[in-house]
Structures are given as C-alpha cells and as structure tokens.
Amino acid sequence: MAEVTKLIHKYLRHDKKFPHVWCPGCGNGILLGALIRAIDRTGFEKDDIVLVSGIGCAGRLPVYVDFNTLHTTHGRALTFATGVKLANPRLQVIVIMGDGDAMAIGGNHFIHAARRNLNLTAIIVNNNIYGMTGGQYSPTTPYGALATTAVYRNIEHAFSIAELAVTAGASLVARGTVYHATMLDRLIEQAIRKRGFSVLEVISHCHTQFGRRNKMGGAVDMLRWQKENAVRVEKAAEMSEEEMAGKFTIGVLVDRDLPIYTEEYRKIREAARRRLGAVK
Ligand code: SF4
Ligand code: MG
C-alpha cells in the first residue's frame, strides 16, 4: 500500500465526516496532510495525542482525524487544552486555531499560555481574515486591506503572531507556509517534540474571503505569493530592512529551554501535600 494511503487509513476518520467543509484549494487541507505526516514521524500512538480547536475553518481540522479530539468554543481552545494538560501531563496536546480565533477572541489566552510555558503545541493558521464567519477583518489583516467589515479599507495595523509569541515567552516559535509543505512537516514535528510551549504560525490563504476581495487571485496565485515572499531565517539575517520590506521569514525563530508550567505545578502540589501531611 502506498505511504499516503496508509496514513489516510490510519489517521483519518471514516465515519461520514467527509466530504469536508473547506473550499477547493484551501490551505487547510495541506496543513492536515502535514500534521498527520509529522505525528506519524514522532511515533506517538493515536491515543497519546489530543487535538483541540476552537471555531473557524482551521478549527474543523480535528473533526476529520482519529485522535482524541475536542472541538470547543470560539477563542477558548487554549483554555480547554490547559485543562487537559494539567489533568494528564502525559498527553501530547496540539491546539489548532485560526488568526481571528487565536489572536482576537482568544488573544489574552494565547499571551498567558505562552507566558506560563505550558508544555503543548499551538498551531495558528494565519490567512489574514475570519474565513468561516464571513470575511471580517482580524488582527492579522494588513492595513489598507478590504474585508466585509472594512469595505472602504482596514484602518487597523496588523501584528505578527510569531513575534508576539516570542515576546510572550514561548519556548519554541516557528513560522511556515502551506506552500513549503515539506518544511511544514518538519516544523510541526519539531514543535510537537519540543518540551515547553511551542508555537507554529502557518501562513495560509483564504482565496474566497481574502484573495478575491483584495485582488490576489485564486488559490494558486496566493500560493505563488507565499513562495515569492517567504525568506528562510538564515537568509533573512543577511538581508537589509529594505530588502525584507513586504516579505516574511520562515523557519525556527526562537528555540529556548525554560521552566515548564506543568512540571512546576507538580512540584508545588507535592510540596503542599508534604506540608499538609506534616500538619496532620
Ligand atoms: Fe479556506 Fe477561506 Fe474557504 Fe475557509 S473560507 S475553507 S479559510 S478558503
Ligand atoms: Mg483566519
């Protein structure tokens, strides 16, 4: 059996969850493929993995796979994931969110999950817009772009998901694109294996809500845009600010070892137990 067929049989659900809801050509399908290839490489059993999502097109991803899955409320995926990880630190918890889900509605949860350095992986699909809910602008919609809630133009300034994650204290921060699919497999694997809060920003495209409205063309044109504007971190280090204008870096931005919340929490609980035992 071909490798891809084996992976499909092993990891996708076959109980009427297909066809999926994504528009033809959406980057979410590429991410789904990269995710199951990366998990397969880690060697974890399906029951070791918990996939958690909130609401949105990317949030549908856990619905299609045969792991432990939680499809939760808008912006709150990291809070559910925190509970799962604290209840059973042995589990490999992976959270899939979109830019609106993670950065607007769940923005505060994101900052504090990174600051606490929970030992889990957050994958944020950044397609610069709220796709599923109808093309509203999000915190990553570029200044001047058009959206259903910015019909003249967006007058808010976008921020960088990856740079926010670095500043908030995540252990590993990386950025990839759905165009660079092989690299995406590797980045997801590295993020899952990392001990600490790992963040992977995945630059994707929403050609139906963002691309057409902003004259970026269809899915293929937007994939070409990713190819032409992504610069590997090693190369970006040698380029000037002018040369990097309008471009973005891909690869691992930060990889550092910091105390992990779940381990610190376990130590506190043990100390409290000892103290209570001594009092008795
Ligand atoms: Fe993908 Fe956009 Fe369609 Fe959602 S609305 S499935 S993000 S192309
Ligand atoms: Mg989005």
Please identify every stretch of the chain with a pLDDT value under 70, giving residue numbers as ranges: 279-280
Ligand nearest to C-alpha 28: 1
Interatomic CA distance for residues 119 and 85, integer angstroms: 8
ipTM: 0.98
Distance in angstroms (rounded) separating the CA atoms of residues 179 and 228 = 10
Task: Report yes or no: 66 and 13 within 8 Å, Cβ to Cβ.
Answer: yes
pLDDT at 280: 58
The pTM assigned to this predicted structure is 0.96
* Dist. CA 70 → ligand 2 center (Å): 19
Residue 24 is predicted with a pLDDT of: 96
| CATH 3.40.50.970 matches 3-279 | yes
**Residue 45, exposed/middle/buried by CB under 10 A (0-12, 13-18, 19+)?**
exposed
State residue 36's pLDDT score.
Answer: 96
Q: Tell which one of 132, 213, 221 to mutate to probe ligand 1, the residue whose CB is within 8 A of the most ligand atoms.
A: 132
pLDDT at 161: 98
Q: What is the 8-class DSSP label of residue 205?
A: -
Domain ranges of the chain: 3-279
Q: Which pLDDT score is estimated for 19?
A: 82
| pLDDT single digits (tens) 110-165 | 999 999 999 999 999 999 999 999 999 999 999 999 999 999 999 999 999 999 99
C-alpha distances out from residue 194 to 112, 158, 205, 229, Å:
18, 28, 27, 27
Indicate the Cα dihedral angle 210, 138, 201, 93, nearest 10°. Answer: -120
Answer yes or no: is the C-beta of 131 below 6 A from any ligand 1 atom: yes
Residue-level pLDDT at 208: 96
Q: Is 57 in the pocket of ligand 1 (CB under 6 A)?
A: yes
Q: Which atom number of ligand 1 is nearest to the Cα of residue 125?
A: 7
Q: Which two tokens stand for residue 67?
A: 């792991």
